[in-house]
Amino acid sequence: MKKTFKRLHLWLAFPFGLILFLICFSGAMIEFAGEFSEWAYHDRYEAHVTRQGRLPLPVLMQRVQPHLAPGVTVTGVSIPTDSTRNYEFSLSAPPRTEWLVDPYTGRVAGEKEHLPFFETMFKLHRWLLDFPHEGEGIWWGKLIVGVSTLMFLFVLISGSSPFGPAPPAACANSSPSICAAVGIAAGSISTPSAAPTPLSSCWPWLPPV
């Protein structure tokens, strides 16, 4: 039993750990998407402040309406606390589309979007740069990400179990229980986010992640 766990632990750790590294790296990059995108598209976010003050929301809705495609409606408006920033209008289609509107003039400054680099990082983080194909029941990129996360969870559990491989010299000289505790803690954090992804990829009737 111990040899089996050791072999599974060692052989699964490298391939799935490599995929998890890409997921973690791209996820860390996504955290900076908002700041860099606002810096690159600062003219879309900054309002032209006038003495007349900001226009009422119903008036802004009338200014935005002619720019909408047929059948598209405004589903929500985000009003920032900073009076020098534009409002964010959420649209019904395409999904997750937001327009930046100047509250002083009613001008549509443009669509809220991220730099292409961060769009690529998002696709890498969620789907390994894959995208849904018409007529296919399984989204392979999403499935690989979910399965890799679950397999790495197994690696953490097998490494911290009594049947796992012997701890490294650094752990052996200090306290093996510390290494086991770290593995269990990392596994417990990964479980909630890992489980739904492969399930929703295999069975489309489950809520998407």
Q: Kindly report, residue by residue over 195-207, the tens digit of the pLDDT.
A: 444 444 444 444 4
pLDDT in tens, 30-65: 989 888 988 988 889 999 888 888 999 999 998 898
pLDDT > 70? residue 22: yes
Look at the alpha carbons of 129, 135, 140, 142 in this order and tell me if their dihedral is positive or negative. Answer: positive
Look at the alpha carbons of 27, 28, 29, 31 in this order and tell me if their dihedral is positive or negative. Answer: positive
List alpha helices for 80-160, DSSP H. 116-127, 140-160
For the entire predicted model, the pTM comes to: 0.60
pLDDT in tens, 123-179: 888 888 876 655 555 567 777 877 877 777 777 776 665 555 555 555 545 444 555
Q: What is the rounded distance in angstroms from the CA atom of residue 126 to the CA atom of residue 104?
A: 38
44, 100 in Cβ contact below 8 A? yes
pLDDT > 70? residue 111: yes
DSSP letters along 106-125, please?
--EEEE----HHHHHHHHHH
Helix, strand and coil in the chain, % to nearest 5: 55, 10, 35
